[in-house]
Amino acid sequence: MILESYNNQEKYLVSIDCAIFGYHEGELKLLLFQREKEPEKGKWSLIGGWVNPDESAEEAATRVLQHLTGLHDIFLEQVSTFSKPNRDPGGRVISVVFYALIVIDGERMKLSSEFGAEWWPVKSLPTLIFDHQQMFEMSLERLRQKANYHLVGRELLPETFTITQLRNLYNSIFSKDFDPGNFRKKVLSFGVLDRLDTKDTSVSKKGAYYYKFNEQKLNESEN
Amino acid sequence: MILESYNNQEKYLVSIDCAIFGYHEGELKLLLFQREKEPEKGKWSLIGGWVNPDESAEEAATRVLQHLTGLHDIFLEQVSTFSKPNRDPGGRVISVVFYALIVIDGERMKLSSEFGAEWWPVKSLPTLIFDHQQMFEMSLERLRQKANYHLVGRELLPETFTITQLRNLYNSIFSKDFDPGNFRKKVLSFGVLDRLDTKDTSVSKKGAYYYKFNEQKLNESEN
DNA sequence: ATATATAAAAGTATAGGTTACTTTTAATAG
DNA sequence: CTATTAAAAGTAACCTATACTTTTATATAT
């Protein structure tokens, strides 16, 4: 902005909303809150919060996520800003939208009891409030773009996993079935996975090797 | 956002900043204003403006662009939102950044005299205020992404142009030299250009055919 | 009138990557 | 020890990107 009449200008509430993706039981899931008041009581919303005076939007999103999940170093990326004058019936609120990726483990499944948040499969979401459906769709699109050029397994899978698990994650993100052979070839060509000596024999007699991300190679490849 | 204490929250000024790209004399250019007051007097800034109460950020950017250029239907895309608490020394201002593409013709070159705006080659920009350098860099990156998948000639070139002109535009956007033969093949494979009967003989004895975008095919290809 | 020079336009050959599909492998279960 | 399972490896066809070469059309010079 060029300096000009800062004082006569209207100010607005600024919030963040976050599409939090997780992966559980072979499905990509989204963390949602159920709204308890009118209007739109009973509908669901993304996780949100206000931007405080001492914070950037990124810092606000990080704070909200840490408070909710207890996790630090959550992967977070800005998606877009929603600013239609009447998008929120409660007042003029401009919302900066992010998406986040987190590993759903036992701890993270308890979010429901603590905060009333619930994981929903992205394939069958409930009705969302305001413009949150569009926020979700743009976030998923961004996640797909990200997953095209980088392996997103580290943010969504447990520390060790099989190629098949990784492929199922990708199947779930893109809603299609990747060819097992081609997927393996492609994924290993990134050169950022280390094969362990242990195998998962729960699904095949032969057994599938476990892999884990090599942090050093990840950094080198600017993943 | 979930409804919660709208009233106790701090409000902020919200602005838009716009990286306006144009193409002139074989160079990609950026439209800038020179700042007339301290702090940072003499440095240059992107084109900006406030978001009014009855506008979305997109509408604000469109209004500012129309007022500045007289053009309607300008190509505009949201890049990112900048929100660090102290990014603007004049006060807490959250800025939604866009990039725009416009055809520089005679009319558009007069911007300087009317508004004090000047076109700068992106290869040699002056020092920009605040975080505007970063805004520009993100905008150029977005433009490159866009140009990878879609022909951006319609937004930056005159109505008719030769393949060589289009290639020079791309050379300028990506700061590299595309192979003439390969570029031609690739560009025509999009199937959205119509060849005219007229030729440009100013640069070659043989003459290069003029082309124009076929709007219908453009729409079909979701360009 | 013919030759020359220019860059457009078309063509070619190689390499690399994607895709669909087949074969082999390892280990368990009957 | 044979059958079964999915992992893992391999293959062939196809498509695209890239570097490079050849042909074409025409204004200008001789």
Question: Full-prediction pTM beyond 0.85?
Answer: yes
pLDDT tens per residue across span B131-162: 999 999 999 999 999 999 899 999 999 999 99
Which residues are CB-contacts of A37 (< 8 A; sequence separation ≥ 6)?
Answer: B3
Identity of the residue in A2, A35, A85 whose CB atom sits nearest the CB atom of B35: A2
Give the three-state DSSP class for B31.
strand
Per-residue pLDDT averaged across B171-185, rounded?
93
pLDDT band, very low/low/confident/very high, at B1 (cuts 50, 70, 90): low
Task: Answer yes or no: is pLDDT of B2 > 60.
Answer: no
**Touching A: B residues 57-86, CB under 8 Å:** 57-58, 78, 80-81, 83-85
Instruction: Kindly list the protein residues whose beta carbon lies within 7 Å of any strand D atom.
Output: A 162-164, 180-182, 184-185, 199, 203-209; B 179, 181-182, 185-186, 189, 201, 204-207
SS (H, E, C) chain A: CCCCCCCCCCCEEEEEEEEEEEEECCEEEEEEEECCCCCCCCCEECEEEECCCCCCHHHHHHHHHHHHHCCCCCEEEEEEEECCCCCCCCCCEEEEEEEEECCCCHHHHCHHHHHCEEEEEHHHCCCECCCHHHHHHHHHHHHHHHHHHCCCHHHHCCCCEEHHHHHHHHHHHHCCCCCHHHHHHHHHHCCCEEEEEEEECCCCCCCEEEEEECHHHHHHCCC
Identity of the residue in B1, B49, B81 whose CB atom sits nearest the CB atom of A93: B1
Q: Would the CB atoms of A93 and B12 count as touching at under 8 Å?
A: no
Q: Would the CB atoms of B49 and A1 count as touching at under 8 Å?
A: yes
Quickly tell me which residue has 């193409």 as its tokens: B23
Q: Which residues pair with A110 in a beta bridge?
A: none
Distance from CA of B39 to the nearest CA of A (A): 9
Give the three-state DSSP class for B133.
helix
Among B28, B84, B82, smallest CA distance to B57 is for: B82
Low-confidence stretches of chain A (pLDDT beneath 50): 3
Residues in chain A: 223
Quickly tell me which residue has 């990124």 as its tokens: A58
What are the C-alpha distances in Å from A57 to residues A80, A92, A122, B93, B158? 11, 17, 25, 12, 40
Task: Answer yes or no: is pLDDT of B163 > 70.
Answer: yes
CA distance A132 to A136: 6
Which nucleotide has its C1' atom closest to residue A164's CA?
D7
Among A83, A98, A85, smallest CA distance to A21 is for: A98
Question: How many Cβ pairs closer than 8 A exist between chain A and B?
Answer: 105
Residue B223's pLDDT is 53
Q: Which residues of A touch B53 (CB under 8 A)?
A: 10, 85, 92
pLDDT tens per residue across span B25-80: 889 999 999 987 777 888 999 999 999 999 999 999 999 999 999 899 999 999 99
Residue A222's pLDDT is 64
Residue B90's pLDDT is 87
For β-strands B75-82 and B93-101, DSSP reports them as: antiparallel
CA distance A15 to A57: 8
Distance from CA of B37 to the nearest CA of A (A): 8
Angle ∠(B154,B133,B17) on CA atoms, nearest 5: 60
The secondary element (H helix, E strand) that includes residue B48 is strand B47-50
Residue B35's pLDDT is 84
What are the C-alpha distances in Å from A36 to residues A49, A129, B122? 16, 12, 51
- % of chain B residues with pLDDT over 70: 97
Among A128, A87, A51, A6, smallest CA distance to B59 is for: A87
Largest Cα span, chain B: 73
Enter the DSSP assignment of B205. Answer: S
Residue B44's pLDDT is 94
What one-letter code names the amino acid at A42?
G
Quickly tell me which residue has 């290639």 as its tokens: B167
Query: Which has the higher per-residue pLDDT, B215 or A97?
Result: A97
Residue A217's pLDDT is 86
Residue B108's pLDDT is 80
The secondary element (H helix, E strand) that includes residue B81 is strand B75-82
Q: Would the CB atoms of A51 and B6 count as touching at under 8 Å?
A: no
Task: Answer yes or no: is pLDDT of B166 > 60.
Answer: yes
**Touching A: B residues 104-143, CB under 8 Å:** none
Say whether residue A14 is in contact with chain B using an 8 A CB cutoff: yes
Give the three-state DSSP class for B92.
coil
